[in-house]
Amino acid sequence: MKSPKRLQALIDEGLIDSVQRQLMSGKEAQVFVVRSGGETRCAKVYKEATNRSFRQAIDYTENRRVKNSRQARAMAKGTKFGREAQEAAWQSAEVDALYRLAGAGVRVPKPYNFFEGVLLMELVCDEHGDAAPRLNDVLFSAEDARAHHATLITEVVRMLVTAGVVHGDLSEFNILLGADGPVIIDLPQAVDAAGNNHAQRMLLRDVSNLRDFFGRFAPELLKTDFGPEIWTLYQRGALHPETPLTGLFEHKTGTVDLTGVMREIDDARAEDAARRLRMAQA
- Give the DSSP H or E segment for 114: strand 111-115
Amino acid (1-letter code) at residue 149: H
3-state secondary structure of 136: helix
- The separation between CA 163 and the C-alpha centre of its own chain, rounded to angstroms, equals 14
Work out the burial of residue 113: count CB atoms within 10 Å of its CB; fewer than 13 is exposed, 13-18 middle, 19 or more buried: middle
In one letter, which amino acid is 102?
A
The 10 Å Cβ neighbour count of residue 132 is 22
Pairing between β-strand 111-115 and β-strand 118-122 as defined by DSSP bridges: antiparallel
Helix (H) or strand (E) segment spanning residue 70 = helix 69-77
Whether 169 is catalytic: yes
The catalytically annotated residue of 126, 130, 180, 186 is 186
Catalytic residue among 126, 137, 144, 169: 169
Q: Which residues are catalytic?
A: 169, 186
